[in-house]
Amino acid sequence: MKDIKRNEIYYADLNPVIGSEQGGVRPVLVIQNDMGNKYSPTTIVAAITSRQNKAKLPTHIEIGEEVFEKDSVVLLEQIRTVDKSRLKEYVGKLDNRIMDRVNKAISISVGLKDHAGENKDDGRTG
């Protein structure tokens, strides 16, 4: 089992896919916590694309040329659990400054925060 850590980027084989899921062999960012990464045979990742014509969403985090030769975007609306055997070549690691933006985008993607970054009030009481 690979010793993977949060913030790391790997190439992963995301096939097979259905519909609009990101597929093929592509870079992914590990977003699962390190305790889960240590003990689970799976991890949680977000797809990365180099296509700059993607719609600018609050769930898209540009990572520039910190890791890749061309600008890339982490797609935090494309989060999925994968078996660690799908992870192939290690690519690099994102710094904490970028991961702060990733964390905010994850919160927006899963509905913990609104698009302005404010905590969501789901209308439930007590």
Q: Is 115 exposed, middle or buried (0-12, 13-18, 19+ CB in 10 A)?
A: exposed
Q: pLDDT-based confidence at 80, cuts 50/70/90?
A: very high
- Pairwise CA distance, residues 39 & 112, whole Å: 26
Share of the chain above pLDDT 90, in %: 61
pLDDT tens-digit map of 29-49? 999 999 999 999 999 999 999
Residue 56: inside a domain: yes
CATH code, domain carrying 45: 2.30.30.110
Residue 15: inside a domain: yes
Residue 77: inside a domain: yes
Q: Is the pLDDT of residue 1 over 60?
A: no
Of residues 80 and 116, more confidence is placed in 80
Residue 93: inside a domain: yes
pLDDT of residue 77: 93
pLDDT tens-digit map of 85-117? 999 999 999 999 999 999 999 999 999 877 665
Which residues have C-beta within 8 Å of that of residue 123, sequence separation ≥ 6?
A: none
pLDDT of residue 6: 98
Q: How many structural domains are present in the chain? A: 1
Residue 59: inside a domain: yes
Residue 14: inside a domain: yes
Average pLDDT over the chain, rounded to an integer: 87
Residue 118: inside a domain: no
Q: pLDDT-based confidence at 126, cuts 50/70/90?
A: very low
Q: pLDDT-based confidence at 70, cuts 50/70/90?
A: confident
How much is the average pLDDT of 48-65? 82
Residue 33: inside a domain: yes
Q: Is the pLDDT of residue 67 over 80?
A: no
Domain range for residue 51? 8-109
